[in-house]
A and B are shown apart, each in its own frame.
Chain A
């Protein structure tokens, strides 16, 4: 079983819709959770970090964490074509030496 699992997609949504990206993790001891966006040919950039159960909002992005169910999700409201990228979920197990990345979900936002 992989430490962090994501559906590879592609996930296609029309412009203006809500995109919902999901991620599950295997270790209940995980403490820190991150979402990164990676455009083709570029390195990942941090979008959101979340550390406690519930929702965390930042502009059009909302991260949701449910430790009991071991999933973390990212909602993108009013999706734009510029949001088209691969979204990586990352988990840290309370050990600053070890981050686990999912393989990423490719999002296509159609104009």
Chain B
């Protein structure tokens, strides 16, 4: 089946640090990539949707200057959490999709800001 690779799987860093998370579709070209955040025991929350070569569409309440998304190719999207603070600690998950095909998720990145 489709494989989406997400890296790193875990990040622990100090407050004020910027953290970049990569999401790659390994065996298909993804027309759309999605970024989610999930707090413990809560449901997935869509942060933004990105299409290759165009600006990401952010969900209401998600700061675009805080969460920078780059989708430079059909196989790679990155999420940068800028100047991270403890409240940004969460489980970040990317997914990739092509046309109307199902989304395939990466393994997620557990971000802990001290």
Report A's interface with B, CB cutoff 8 A. 31-32, 34, 36, 41-46, 49, 88, 90, 92, 94, 96-99, 101-104
Contact = CB atoms under 8 A, between A and B. Distances in A.
B74 to A, nearest CB: 13
Interface size on B, as a range, is: 20 to 34
A45 B99 contact: no
B49 A90 contact: no
- Quick one: which of B44, B46, B104 has the most chain A CB within 10 A? B44
Given A46-B1, A46-B102, A103-B43, A96 B97 contact: yes
- Quick one: which of A36, A43, A96 has the most chain B CB within 10 A? A43
Given A96-B32, A97-B57, A104-B43, A46 B104 contact: yes
Contacts of A99: 34, 97, 103
Closest 5 pairs between A and B when the two form their complex, measured CB to CB: A103-B43, A43-B108, A43-B105, A43-B93, A34-B102
Contact of A92 (B46, B100, B108): B100
A101 to B, nearest CB: 5
A72 to B, nearest CB: 13
Interface of B: 1, 6, 31-32, 34, 43-44, 46, 49, 51, 57, 91, 93, 97-100, 102-108
16 contacts: A32-B102, A36-B105, A42-B108, A43-B105, A43-B107, A44-B93, A45-B105, A46-B105, A49-B102, A96-B97, A96-B99, A97-B49, A97-B51, A99-B97, A101-B46, A104-B43
Nearest to B6: A43
A87 B57 CA distance: 26
Contacts of B34: 99
A46 B1 CA distance: 10
A101 B102 CA distance: 12
Nearest to B107: A43
